[in-house]
Amino acid sequence: MTEVTAIPEVSGSKGAMLRLSDMKIGPLPLTVFAASSVVAMLAVWAGKLPNNLIGGLFVLMLLGFLLGKLGQNIPILKQIGGTAILCLFVPAALVGYGLMPQSALKAMHTTFKTANFQYFFIACLVAGSILGMPYRVLVQGFIRMFVPLLVGTLAAVAAGIVVGLLFGHTPSETFFFIIIPIVGGGLAEGTLPLSIAYSEMLHRP
């Protein structure tokens, strides 16, 4: 019979180093993320960050990976959607309080406003989600879900309008600016496309 030899557990500083080397921030190993972050910070500090899609995505991806990791591990916050909350509010706070370096801000502005990356991202997300599902499952699932989905949506709209009226909002304001963004599918699938559409229709930011 073949004897199975137990591998001794690594302890102390070596064990800590192994655990750190196995850690990932987003899809990146910790070492790669740390090196990339140093490069990004030096580029921002020196004013050498490219003001284009590459520079903008470089900063956005690193910041998103970090905030996503924090949101997955902070107690209590991780149970209420910490990843989405941090990725939405922390960058907004950095920009709002003037803490985001101008070179990084310009690169991200170019990525989203000039290159219109969000249009590409939303199109890929929606189309990829639909095309990635097996045809039979998509059809059968839609047929089974249609009636409950319709009833649930109508009930949610009615409840939302009632609550809006209690807080002094008109039904149209509540419907278009509160309910629809919520039931529209979250941030990427709902809020961003709607904000673009509303901005073009209302001629305001």
The 3-class SS string of 83-137 reads HHHHHHHHHHHHHHCCCCCHHHHHHHHHHHHHCCHHHHHHHHHHHHHHHCCCHHH
Quote the tokens at residue 106.
């310009």
Quote the tokens at residue 80.
């209420």
Distance, CA of 63 to CA of 57 (rounded, Å)? 10
pTM, rounded to two decimals: 0.61
Is the pLDDT higher at 192 or at 103?
103
- Asked whether 8 and 34 are in contact (CB, 8 A), the reply is no
Distance, CA of 126 to CA of 192 (rounded, Å)? 12
Rg of the chain taking only CA atoms, in angstroms: 23
Model confidence pLDDT, tens digit, residues 98-111 = 898 899 999 998 98
Give residue 81's pLDDT.
85
Distance, CA of 108 to CA of 104 (rounded, Å)? 6
Model confidence pLDDT, tens digit, residues 111-170 = 888 877 877 887 887 788 778 878 787 777 777 888 888 899 899 999 999 999 999 999
